[in-house]
Amino acid sequence: MTDQVHAERREPSPPTSALDLAAEGRELLEQARGLAAGRAARTLTPGVGALLKQTLVALDDDRRLDEHTAPGPATLHVLSGQVTLHAGETTLPISEQCWAQLPTEAHELSAEQAAVVLITVALPVSAG
């Protein structure tokens, strides 16, 4: 592990071919294990103003995404590992290859074991 907390932020680029989520997830998890924060992410959908945002997130063992709210309706698909979603008094364990709708209120996500998740958010249409 390095002293570096987070990976460098990079803008998503338009896809040129199909993406192997399992391979990308393994690469992100390896990257997460080398960072002090124990997590790494890659935004898959490009473009400011896009209506859909998908982010692949890797969390090392016992790491978490701190409490936050989603900018729109969102879902979570656990590709590998085991996570627990915490929202208010609700605690929801989510296993590998399971899917859940994320709450609109503040929530956090913790990895019970190293995990790779795909988060999909429907972004609000901006007036203009």
- Asked if the structure places residue 99 within a domain, the reply is yes
- Asked if the structure places residue 83 within a domain, the reply is yes
Residue 32 DSSP label: H
- Asked if the structure places residue 118 within a domain, the reply is yes
d(CA 17, CA 101): 28
Residue 77 DSSP label: E
- Asked if the structure places residue 38 within a domain, the reply is yes
Q: Which residue range is the domain that position 113 belongs to?
A: 21-122
d(CA 4, CA 74): 29
Query: How many domains would you assign to the chain?
Result: 1
**pLDDT at residue number 96:** 97
**pLDDT at residue number 90:** 93
CA 26 to chain centre: 14
- Asked if the structure places residue 111 within a domain, the reply is yes
List the Cα angle 81/2/94 in 5-degree steps.
Answer: 15
- Asked if the structure places residue 25 within a domain, the reply is yes
pLDDT, tens digit, 9 for 90 and up, residues 24-74: 999 999 999 999 999 999 998 866 678 899 999 999 999 999 999 988 999
**pLDDT at residue number 5:** 46
- Asked if the structure places residue 59 within a domain, the reply is yes
**pLDDT at residue number 17:** 85
CATH assignment at residue 56: 2.60.120.10
